[in-house]
Amino acid sequence: MRFQIYLNGFCPYCEMARELLDRLGHEYDEIHIDQDREQRRIMEERAGRTSVPQIFLGETHIGGYDDLAALHRSGGLAELVAQQGGDEE
């Protein structure tokens, strides 16, 4: 299962989230909310937040970069990926 990252073009935390997922070998789809107002609305509805990045695995909302990094450090990201049918490096 692929991650989804809602982001914009001027966001250092978005870049850090992509770098972490790349380093871990996870695939993801980028959804640029600065280019599509409807996607911004969808992100806000799904996440209940207005800041970027907002990261999902399937329907599971992970949160922003800090949430993703903390989940990885705790081992929770590996567990979540395994539950979703993927594998964590």
Element (H, E) at 30: strand 28-32
Decide if 21 is inside a domain: yes
Assigned domain for 9 exists: yes
For residue 88, tell me if it sits in a domain.
Answer: no
Total tally of structural domains belonging to the chain: 1
Domain of 42 in residue numbering reads as 3-83
Q: Confirm whether 71 is domain-assigned.
A: yes
Angle at CA of residue 88, ends 42 and 10, nearest 5°: 40
CB 1 within 8 A of CB 85: yes
Domain assignment present for 50: yes
Whole-model pTM: value is 0.92
Does 89 score more than 50 pLDDT?
A: no
Q: Which domain CATH number covers 46?
A: 3.40.30.10
pLDDT digits (tens, 9 = 90+) for 25-83: 999 999 999 989 999 999 999 999 999 999 999 999 999 999 999 999 999 999 999 99
Check pLDDT > 90 for residue 88: no
Decide: 34 and 51 in contact? Cβ < 8 Å.
Answer: no
Handedness of CA 64, 69, 74, 76 (dihedral sign): positive
Predicted pLDDT of residue 86: 61
